[in-house]
């Protein structure tokens, strides 16, 4: 049994007492008993919400077309798509033979002639309480499938192979692999990655089908770097990428020579990031060497290190990605807090951007595996427009709507409005806030304010079926696009990391106060997950009086202790994001000044709901467990609740119905915070 005794630690002359360090012992029965007791306590304190929770769940379910399918994507001689069936938790991956360039018209609940089921997640999951697919990759010739599965939620997968000609599973089976992978051109060989003890993908292996011995082709010994393996759209080159938070290095190999040696494009140089795609006799290279918002270069295939400018750097435009096709190039970018798509025709025409009608939206290329095509598949959504799939015809400049996610129950986007506001941070910086509200809602109104603000991850305007259960009950929903994210370019990110991290937290508080001052909001409930959970813990310490409640999902709230311990998953990699408090006393002092767990005091805190998962490998369960324990022992206010999924990982419960119930629980708790009981 774990002994519940304090642990004393000293760093840089500073001694701290950690009363709840014993909770790190995951395999100790006392830890499990503690988490189960917390679950029972949370269930007791939220028992009065059961009817509301069930109502919200039924609303989510009732607005969702349960038997549905995706828009088919052309790849070689096949159209690939996925579908769902009413009553089943997981999707089903399928394909049908291709006939022409237009996607086949599929009717939910019906099968097309010649449909082949590649993977049925429901059959694979069986009775397991958790199930996830990590990799699903069809060989270039369309005859084989590589796929991997996880039944715990710890993101350690078993890789298997299937013949798509016979439907039979091949005997090859490889445990403990990471996400992703890539086939050789002839489909004889599959490359995959493995993780080290710190859950860092550090090795690439080559597996030849039918072989009992796999070959290690690359190992990354620098603990700051992750590695990944992929295939260019042209399927001509295998690309092995190594990257830290601030530096990258790429190796390439002719996909027709899988037993060959990967060659470095340019050796790593601290602070320089780059990626590439193949287009005929050249590579397209996206990089930030002397270009903070990135620029696009070209390089000959026989001299990939020789970069020539193609699209120059702009202070107002962050280049996000480049997609190379036979006759055109597509650039995904960000400007003024919104995403955009730029087309560079290969026929000599001037480059141009695709225009979109709404003031707030998110658009991105998606599902474009074919190298030779005259169409661009893209995804589009806004805070009022459900996720939509378009084909953009490059010859006619026409946007062709292929599918918009059905929202049942009479949803009309015209019943809702979206807005962009600008809050003013403590240092005078203008911080964008995206807002959606149902027309006719009396203001000020109760508000759910969401935030993230790390890793240059942008929370772009997005649609949510579940969110309608709030809006229809008179809520405002808002996203605070705080520094540390990427909404306003690379400098926006850099101004919210390392020793600028506190900007993330003060920006969020400024957004909350702006919403109240501007007449949008009465009571505000804050919500965030993972690194956004750190944001939640920090703002609860910074301004507890500004919030009626806080929902922190898989929250990174024991940040200092985690980043001090290089034996924990991801710690060394994270030093480029947060700083290295183990070796740098200034970083230690700065992190200690904002880390939520260290800064809980005796003030009155709002009610807090922390949701975590026992098998999470990204933010370990003990962080919210320790945080809630200290809040309950130290702070006034509350209540402070902890809910642990005992058989899930970072993303929570895996089945869609289970996920809807988990969301309904969180939303019912949010509604209850402001007195909405039905």
Closest CA to 24 of 571, 642, 626, 641: 626
The b/e string for 185-222 (b: 16+ C-beta within 10 A; e otherwise) is bebbbbbbbbbeebbbbbbbbbbbbeeeebeebbebee
Say how far apart CA 319 and CA 333 lie, in whole Å.
Answer: 4
- Per-residue pLDDT, 281: 93
Place of tokens 């077309």: 65
Pair of tokens at residue 62: 């009732």
Catalytic residue from among 616, 622, 654, 668:
616
Place of tokens 């378009």: 390
Question: Are 257 and 265 contacting, i.e. CB atoms less than 8 angstroms apart?
Answer: no
- Per-residue pLDDT, 520: 98
Pair of tokens at residue 95: 């394909």
Question: Are 593 and 651 contacting, i.e. CB atoms less than 8 angstroms apart?
Answer: no
Place of tokens 């990257």: 243
- Per-residue pLDDT, 481: 98
Measure the CA dihedral 532/533/534/536, to 10°: 90
The b/e string for 43-69 (b: 16+ C-beta within 10 A; e otherwise) is eebbeebeebbeebbebbbebbebebb
- Per-residue pLDDT, 313: 96
- Per-residue pLDDT, 652: 63
Measured distance between the N- and C-terminal CA atoms of the chain, rounded to whole angstroms? 43
Q: Is 401 exposed, middle or buried (0-12, 13-18, 19+ CB in 10 A)?
A: exposed
pLDDT < 70 stretches in the chain: 1-3, 648-654
Closest CA to 70 of 409, 371, 402, 376: 402
Measure the CA dihedral 563/455/26/666, to 10°: 130
DSSP per position, 246-274: S-EEEEEEETT-TTS--EESS---TT--E
Say how far apart CA 511 and CA 594 lie, in whole Å.
Answer: 19
- Per-residue pLDDT, 568: 83
pLDDT digits (tens, 9 = 90+) for 546-589: 999 999 999 999 999 999 999 887 789 999 999 999 999 999 99
Bridge partners of residue 183, in order along the sequence? 190
- The DSSP 8-state label assigned to residue 597 in this structure reads G
Say how far apart CA 274 and CA 243 lie, in whole Å.
Answer: 9
Q: Decide if 650 is catalytic.
A: yes
Query: Measuring CA to CA, how many Å separate 299 from each of 306, 442, 646, 677?
Result: 5, 58, 50, 62
Q: What is the enclosing helix (H) or strand (E) of 494?
A: helix 490-494
- Per-residue pLDDT, 348: 80
- Per-residue pLDDT, 154: 85
Domains, the chain, in order of start with CATH, read: 419-673 (3.40.50.1820)
Catalytic residue from among 202, 332, 481, 650:
650
Query: Measuring CA to CA, how many Å separate 75 from each of 99, 184, 371, 666, 674?
Result: 12, 16, 9, 40, 50
Query: Measuring CA to CA, how many Å separate 567 from each of 297, 461, 561?
Result: 39, 37, 11
Closest CA to 205 of 163, 247, 169, 174: 174
Say how far apart CA 438 and CA 417 lie, in whole Å.
Answer: 6
- Per-residue pLDDT, 1: 43
- The DSSP 8-state label assigned to residue 317 in this structure reads B
Closest CA to 131 of 660, 648, 662: 648
Could you give the count of Cα atoms lying within 13 Å of 149 in the half-sphere of its Cβ? 16
Q: Decide if 616 is catalytic.
A: yes
Say how far apart CA 156 and CA 302 lie, in whole Å.
Answer: 37
The torsion region of residue 294 among left (phi > 0), alpha (psi -120 to 50) and beta comes to left
- Per-residue pLDDT, 402: 94
- Per-residue pLDDT, 3: 66
Bridge partners of residue 340, in order along the sequence? 333
**21-27 LR contacts (CB < 8 Å, sep 24+):** 21/561, 21/626, 23/622, 23/625, 23/626, 23/629, 24/620, 24/622, 26/614, 26/621, 26/622
Could you give the count of Cα atoms lying within 13 Å of 565 in the half-sphere of its Cβ? 13
Pair of tokens at residue 241: 């990428």
Say how far apart CA 290 and CA 313 lie, in whole Å.
Answer: 9
Catalytic residue from among 70, 248, 530, 668:
530
Query: Measuring CA to CA, how many Å separate 67 from each of 82, 91, 112, 192, 411?
Result: 11, 10, 15, 33, 18
Asked if omega into 639 is within 30° of 0 (cis), the reply is: yes
Query: Measuring CA to CA, how many Å separate 530 from each of 22, 301, 645?
Result: 22, 40, 15
Angle in degrees, CA 427, 430, 432, rounded to 5: 140
Question: Are 504 and 471 contacting, i.e. CB atoms less than 8 angstroms apart?
Answer: no
Furthest-apart CA atoms within the chain: distance in Å: 72
């Amino acid at each position: 049994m774990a002994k519940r005794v304090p642990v004393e630690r000293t760093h840089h002359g500073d001694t701290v007492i950690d009363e709840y360090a014993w909770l790190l012992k995951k395999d100790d029965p006392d830890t499990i008993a503690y988490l189960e007791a917390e679950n029972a306590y949370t269930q007791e304190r939220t028992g009065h919400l059961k009817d509301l929770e069930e109502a919200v769940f039924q609303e989510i379910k009732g607005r969702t077309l349960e038997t549905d399918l995706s828009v088919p994507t052309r790849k070689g001689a096949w159209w690939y798509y996925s579908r769902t069936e009413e009553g089943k938790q997981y999707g089903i991956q399928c394909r049908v033979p291709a006939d022409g360039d237009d996607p086949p018209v599929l009717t939910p609940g019906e099968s097309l002639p010649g449909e082949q089921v590649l993977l049925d997640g429901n059959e694979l999951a069986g009775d397991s309480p958790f199930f996830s697919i990590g990799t699903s990759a069809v060989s270039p010739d369309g005859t084989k499938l590589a796929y991997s599965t996880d039944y715990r939620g710890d993101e350690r997968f078993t890789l298997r192979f299937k013949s798509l000609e016979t439907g039979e599973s091949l005997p090859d089976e490889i445990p403990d692999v990471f996400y992703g992978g890539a086939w050789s051109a002839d489909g004889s060989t599959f490359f995959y990655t493995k993780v080290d003890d710190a859950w860092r993908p550090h090795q690439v292996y080559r597996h030849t089908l039918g072989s009992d011995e796999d070959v290690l082709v690359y190992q990354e010994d620098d603990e700051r770097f992750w590695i990944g393996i992929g295939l260019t759209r042209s399927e001509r080159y295998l690309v092995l990428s190594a990257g830290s938070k601030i530096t990258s290095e790429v190796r390439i190999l002719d996909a027709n020579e899988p037993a060959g040696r990967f060659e470095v494009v340019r050796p790593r140089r601290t602070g320089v990031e780059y990626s590439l795609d193949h287009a005929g006799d050249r590579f397209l290279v996206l990089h930030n060497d002397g270009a903070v918002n990135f620029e696009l270069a070209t390089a000959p295939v026989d001299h990939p290190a020789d970069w020539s400018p193609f699209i120059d750097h702009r202070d107002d435009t962050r280049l996000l990605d480049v997609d190379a096709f036979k006759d055109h190039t597509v650039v995904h970018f960000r400007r003024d807090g919104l995403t955009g798509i730029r087309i560079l025709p290969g026929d000599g025409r001037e480059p141009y951007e695709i225009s979109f009608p709404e003031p707030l939206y998110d658009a991105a290329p998606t599902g474009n595996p074919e190298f030779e095509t005259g169409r661009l598949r893209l995804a589009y959504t806004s805070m009022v427009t459900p996720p939509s799939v378009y084909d953009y015809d490059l010859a006619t400049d026409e946007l062709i709507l292929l599918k918009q996610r059905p929202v049942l129950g009479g949803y009309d986007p015209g019943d809702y409005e979206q807005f962009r506001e600008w809050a003013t941070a403590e240092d005078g910086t203008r911080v964008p806030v995206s807002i959606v509200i149902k027309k006719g809602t009396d203001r000020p109104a109760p508000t759910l304010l969401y935030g993230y603000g790390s890793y240059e991850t942008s929370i772009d305007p997005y649609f949510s079926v579940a969110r309608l259960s709030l809006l229809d009950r008179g809520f405002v929903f808002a996203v605070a696009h705080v520094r540390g994210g990427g909404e306003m370019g690379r400098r926006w990110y850099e101004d919210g990391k390392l020793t600028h991290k506190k900007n993330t937290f003060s920006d969020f508080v400024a957004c909350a106060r702006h919403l109240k001052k501007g007449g949008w909001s009465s009571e505000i409930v804050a919500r965030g997950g993972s690194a956004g959970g750190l944001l939640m813990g920090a703002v609860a310490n910074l301004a507890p009086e500004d919030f009626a409640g806080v929902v922190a999902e898989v929250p990174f709230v024991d940040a200092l202790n985690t980043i001090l311990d290089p034996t924990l998953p991801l710690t060394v990699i994270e030093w480029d994001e947060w700083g290295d408090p183990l070796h740098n006393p200034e970083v230690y002092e700065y992190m200690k000044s904002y880390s939520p767990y260290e800064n809980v005091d005796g003030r009155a805190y709002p009610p807090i709901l922390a949701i975590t998962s026992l098998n999470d490998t990204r933010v370990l369960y003990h962080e919210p467990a320790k945080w809630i324990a200290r809040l309950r022992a130290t702070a006034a206010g509350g209540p402070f609740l902890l809910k642990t999924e005992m058989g899930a990982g970072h993303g929570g419960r895996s089945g869609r119905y289970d996920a809807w119930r988990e969301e309904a629980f969180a939303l019912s708790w949010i509604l209850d915070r402001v007195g909405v009981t039905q």
